[in-house]
A and B are shown apart, each in its own frame.
Chain A
Amino acid sequence: MFIENYEKIRENLYDLESERRVLSAMIHAEEACIEAHSSLQASDFYSPKHATIFELACNLYERDIKPTYVEILKEGHSLGIFTNPKDIEELKYIAEHYIDDENIKYWIKKVKDKSKLRRFETFLRRSYFMLAENPESDAEEILLSAEEELTNLTAFDIDEKIDTPADLAKLGYEEVEKRFIRFKEIKELHKGVLPLEGLPTGFSYLDHITLGYKPGDLVILGAQTGHGKTAFALHTAKAIAVDFGKKVLYLNTEMSRTQIALRWGSILSGIEHERIRSGDINETELSIIFNAYSKLRDSGFYSYPCPNLTPEKTVSIARKFKAQKNIDMMIIDYVGRMEKQDPKLSEWQILEQIVKTQKMLAQNLQIVVMCLVQLNPDGTLQGAKRMKNECDLMLKLTPISKEELAENEELKKYLNPNYYIYIEKNRDGRSGVSLPIQFDLKRQIMKDAERIQL
């Protein structure tokens, strides 16, 4: 009776059809690759052949190669995995028989569920044999250990981790030790200047206050129309991807590839944007611009113009670029232009949904996500309170009025400031601070406003 039931149970512990559908979808569609790569592991597959095909497809995908039937054949052959016709029978079957790439999440869930059930069955079997072999074991001990294992089975997903008291104590001490050494370094080597903890912001005053954009941070930058949102985004990208050699993914909902490329010409060469756009430059300037673009060529800047961007799309694009290019930051320029998934939602609900998604994304992928938002003409922000709750750093870029320039004594200590970066929220440090900067609109260049030496 037990054996009969056990056979029945075993049959329910795997679902080869779902495994084939996941793999087939990966072979046929990039979206499926993104989902499966981030949700599954080879060990989730029951069939060893399926696990191998999954690993081959993931290896290719991580190298930015579409895992087609041909590419998987080549990869398997070059690694010595496929050496005779029998080795590719299953792959051939999958490639030929399943072309369904819709409902990929459904099939992934089925594969994952079966994988969890198998782990549960292993747990039951192990417990059963333990009881059979050690009938005199301590009941308390057995139950406690079983409870812990069972909790792990139900609570853990691929990237979830529960800290034990020992884990947390270790982490705490390591962090304090790190800071202790850094503090000593600051005093001795850096003469009191705090080194960055994250990516440079492109402004030394802002670096000083924030210690840089840190992995997992959601940064929101607000500015009115025509007041430097894109210039700020590209200034940030320059500081991180060109000057600092890290990788940035830039999603733009408004501008074309050509427009973005031309902006870089101006930012990197220091020649007026309008003149570059119209071609009104001399040969020396053309040569300067050519050299300027070589900096972009060697940088870590990836651009993805995407007029129909949705919050869901940002998730899959970010996952793809994290897996394939190991990006450190994603900039979304700008969230107000994102497509509405549900037309019944009001503006603030959409913004809330967007920022929540982006915060989760930043934490899960351990990247910085910067969202650019549009300020109202009076300098306020739609749904500001909810955005402020979610983000780690909220900045506003606002012009300094002529009156303020004339009256504010503090501003007179700086050389030609014309914009403020106002720190509205800073989870890790000071907020409510206005930093004067110089924004050269003609060249689309931003920099710290220099203090006048007295």
Chain B
Amino acid sequence: MFNDKEKIKKIYDETATVIADLAFRREITDEEMYFLLNMLEAIIDNRNLSALTEVLLEWIKKEDKNELNEEIKKELFKINFKDEDSVNEVTHNIKKLLE
């Protein structure tokens, strides 16, 4: 049986591999891959991303979101997960776009 630490590590490894595979198969762009890998690393580092996660969930649930997709992605690619201000700013901007 896995303990919690091992479970988190397994999820981390599997997720990173899936993200890299998607990029190799050209199903996501390089930019999208870097963003997802950075976000994964930030989550594992226990950085507080709850506000960002909330707006991302809101985005996923939203109907007729096609026209917003590119703008939101542009915002997300600007994010620096090591800088709390950058995370807050991007979260705030996406929130505004979703309103």
Distance in angstroms from B26 CB to nearest chain A CB is 11
Among B9, B12, B30, B40, contact of A77 (Cβ-Cβ < 8 Å):
B30
* Residues in B lying within 8 Å of A, measured CB to CB: 9-10, 12-13, 16-17, 20-21, 23-25, 30, 33-34, 37-38, 40-41
Among B13, B21, B34, B41, contact of A85 (Cβ-Cβ < 8 Å):
B21
Q: Are B16 and A77 in contact (CB under 8 A)?
A: no
Assuming the A-B contacts A74-B37, A77-B30, A99-B9, are A69 and B24 also in contact, with contact meaning beta carbons closer than 8 angstroms in the complex? no
Q: Are A95 and B41 in contact (CB under 8 A)?
A: no
Q: Which residues of chain A are within 8 angstroms of B38 by Cβ–Cβ distance?
A: 70
Main SS class of interface, B: helix
Could you show 22 A-B contacts with beta carbons less than 8 Å apart? Answer: A69-B12, A70-B12, A70-B38, A70-B40, A70-B41, A73-B16, A73-B20, A73-B37, A77-B23, A77-B30, A82-B24, A84-B24, A85-B20, A85-B24, A85-B25, A88-B17, A88-B20, A92-B13, A95-B13, A96-B10, A96-B13, A99-B9
Q: Which of A82-133 contact B (CB under 8 A)?
A: 82-85, 87-88, 92, 95-96, 99
Interface contacts beyond A82-B20, A85-B25, A87-B24: sample of 9 additional A-B pairs, CB < 8 Å, sorted by A: A68-B41, A69-B12, A69-B13, A70-B37, A70-B38, A74-B34, A83-B24, A84-B24, A99-B9
Main SS class of interface, A: helix
Q: Which residues of chain B are within 8 angstroms of A96 by Cβ–Cβ distance?
A: 10, 13
Distance in angstroms from A96 CB to nearest chain B CB is 5
Q: Closest residue of chain A to B12, judged by CB?
A: A69
4 pairs of A and B residues whose beta carbons are closest in the complex: A70-B37, A70-B41, A96-B13, A84-B24
Total inter-chain residue pairs, C-beta < 8 Å: 38
Q: Which residues of chain A are within 8 angstroms of B40 by Cβ–Cβ distance?
A: 70
* Residues in A lying within 8 Å of B, measured CB to CB: 68-71, 73-74, 77, 82-85, 87-88, 92, 95-96, 99
Q: How far is the CA of A87 from the CA of B17 in the complex (A)?
A: 11
Q: Which residues of chain A are within 8 angstroms of B24 by Cβ–Cβ distance?
A: 82-85, 87
Q: Are A77 and B13 in contact (CB under 8 A)?
A: no
Q: Which residues of chain B are within 8 angstroms of A95 by Cβ–Cβ distance?
A: 13, 16
Q: Which residues of chain B are within 8 angstroms of A83 by Cβ–Cβ distance?
A: 24
Among A68, A74, A92, contact of B17 (Cβ-Cβ < 8 Å):
A92
Q: Which residues of chain B are within 8 angstroms of A88 by Cβ–Cβ distance?
A: 17, 20
Q: Closest residue of chain A to B25, judged by CB?
A: A85
Q: Which residues of chain A are within 8 angstroms of B21 by Cβ–Cβ distance?
A: 85
Distance in angstroms from A281 CB to nearest chain B CB is 30
Q: How far is the CA of A74 from the CA of B20 in the complex (A)?
A: 9
Q: Which residues of chain A are within 8 angstroms of B20 by Cβ–Cβ distance?
A: 73, 77, 82, 85, 88
Distance in angstroms from B72 CB to nearest chain A CB is 22
Assuming the A-B contacts A77-B30, A77-B33, are A70 and B16 also in contact, with contact meaning beta carbons closer than 8 angstroms in the complex? yes
Assuming the A-B contacts A74-B34, A77-B33, A96-B10, are A69 and B16 also in contact, with contact meaning beta carbons closer than 8 angstroms in the complex? yes
Distance in angstroms from A98 CB to nearest chain B CB is 12
Q: Which residues of chain A are within 8 angstroms of B17 by Cβ–Cβ distance?
A: 88, 92
Q: How far is the CA of A96 from the CA of B30 in the complex (A)?
A: 24
Distance in angstroms from B91 CB to nearest chain A CB is 22
Distance in angstroms from B24 CB to nearest chain A CB is 5
Distance in angstroms from A168 CB to nearest chain B CB is 50
Q: How far is the CA of A68 from the CA of B9 in the complex (A)?
A: 11
Distance in angstroms from A56 CB to nearest chain B CB is 14
Q: How far is the CA of A85 from the CA of B22 in the complex (A)?
A: 9
Q: How far is the CA of A73 from the CA of B17 in the complex (A)?
A: 9
Q: How far is the CA of A73 from the CA of B20 in the complex (A)?
A: 7
Interface centre among B10, B20, B24, by most A CB within 10 Å?
B20
Q: How far is the CA of A69 from the CA of B20 in the complex (A)?
A: 11
Q: How far is the CA of A96 from the CA of B12 in the complex (A)?
A: 10
Q: Closest residue of chain B to A72, judged by CB?
A: B16
